[in-house]
Structure 1
Amino acid sequence: MARTKNFVESEVLDSALNLFWQKGYHATSIQDLVNHLGINRASIYDTWGDKHGLYLETLKQYRRHSSGKFLEKLRSEKTAKEIIKDFLADIVQDSSEDDLKKGCYLSNSATELAYCDEKVNTMFTDNRIKMEGVLNELIKEGQEAGEFSSKHTSESYARFIFNTAGGLRLLAKGEISKQEMAEVVEVAISALH
């Protein structure tokens, strides 16, 4: 007879995600996970296969949370310009409130593992393509409404905004003020005009 789980998977994933986010994949041991999650090794292995399987699930969980937050903005009645500005401003706000200076979980994962882990690389690339696709549609909408310039293609602008978002998350890992980051957002938005 199969044992029943004495934990909620999504809660354990959130907790594991936070530990991996703070320490990184390589610096987090199975024992660290056992201690932090409050579940035994057998539960980790039975549910996710191994540390790597658990890690990949935390990346998926992070994408679900991030995508959900962004989708809320897309469903609003705001203009394309307001949505993109809010998207970047949220990064500034979230980063300025993060005392641990963790940056972006997915970007950190790519930096640590994408060169040697095909699954992480694929997940990071897939996220970039999807995010650029959504930004591309928003920018096209903004171009058609006269909010944004048509000097460059919507695809080029989308890549620029995605890159700016990643740059902001990276900057936030060091010493930079909220005001300095907000200035980056203002310059990025003005570049779309």
Structure 2
Amino acid sequence: MGRPKQFDPDAVVDKAMDVFWRKGYAATTPQDLVDELGIGKGSLYHSFGSKHALFERALERYRDTQAAALVGLLDQPGPVRPLLRSALELLIETDLGESGRRGCLAVNTATELGGRDDASTELVRRMFERTEGAFKAAVERGQRTGEFAPDRDPAAVASLLLAALVGMRVIARAQGGRERLCRVADAALAML
């Protein structure tokens, strides 16, 4: 009879997400994971299969939590423009916050592994589509309420907002500063 697990797999995935987010996929060694997650190498491989499989689970967790937060914010009642502003400001605060300039795990993964790792690229692509979909729904809502010009293509505006968001997250990692990030957010919102 095997020994029961002595750890919570969900908590391990959360900790692994933090490690990969801080260090990147390639720079994170299996020993880093063992040291920071507090589990043995055998348990790591038995429970998750491989470093890459654990990374995929961590990236999925990131996608689910980040997308849920964005959708929840944009689905609130009231005028849409301030909700979009709040979403972009939340990202600015997150990227410039106490956790350091980690950027966005999905954007970091896209720049590190995009086009070279099909599974990770697909996870990031789906996250970007989900984010873009949330922006598109918000723009369509703003058009229905008369807040935004009806002649704008909601899909194109959503793509622009996604591009601004991704750019802001890259700029934040390079010490872009609050003022620069706010200028990008202002310019993106002015297009509505």
TM-score norm. by structure 1 comes to 0.94
Question: Unaligned regions of 5+ residues in structure 1, if any?
Answer: none
Three-state SS of the structure 2 residue aligned to 1:172 is helix
Measure how far apart 1:22 and its partner are. Answer: 1.2
Supply the distance in 2 between the matched residues of 1:77 and 1:2 (Cα, whole angstroms): 52
Give the partner amino acid of 2:13: L
Structure 2, unmatched stretches of 5+, are none
RMSD between superposed Cα atoms in Å: 1.4
Cα offsets for 1:14-55 (capped at 9, x unmatched): 111111111111111111111111100111111110100000
Residue identity in the other structure for 1:104: C
1:85-127, Cα deviation, whole Å (9 max, x unpaired): 1111111111121453111101111111121111111111111
The equivalent residue for 2:170 is: 170
Residue in 1 that maps onto 2:2: 2
User: Residue 35 in 1 paired to residue 35 in 2?
Assistant: yes
How far apart in 2 are the matches of 1:39 and 1:119? Answer: 25
SS at match of 2:173: coil
> 1:172 and 1:180 mapped to 2: Cα distance?
9
> In structure 2, what is the equivalent of residue 153 of structure 1?
153
The residue type equivalent to 1:152 in the other structure is R
**Is this contact kept in 1: 2:136–2:155, CA < 8 A?**
yes
How many residue pairs get matched?
Answer: 192
TM-score (norm 2): 0.94
Q: Is the CA contact (8 Å cut-off) linking 2:92 and 2:178 kept in structure 1?
A: yes
Which residue identity lines up with residue 73 of structure 1 in the other structure?
A: L
What is the 5 A alignment of 1:1-193? 1-98=1-98, 100-192=100-192
The superposition leaves residues 118-171 of structure 1 with CA deviations (integer Å, 9 ceiling, x where unpaired) of 111111111122221121111011112121123430000000001111111000
Moved over 4 A (4+): none
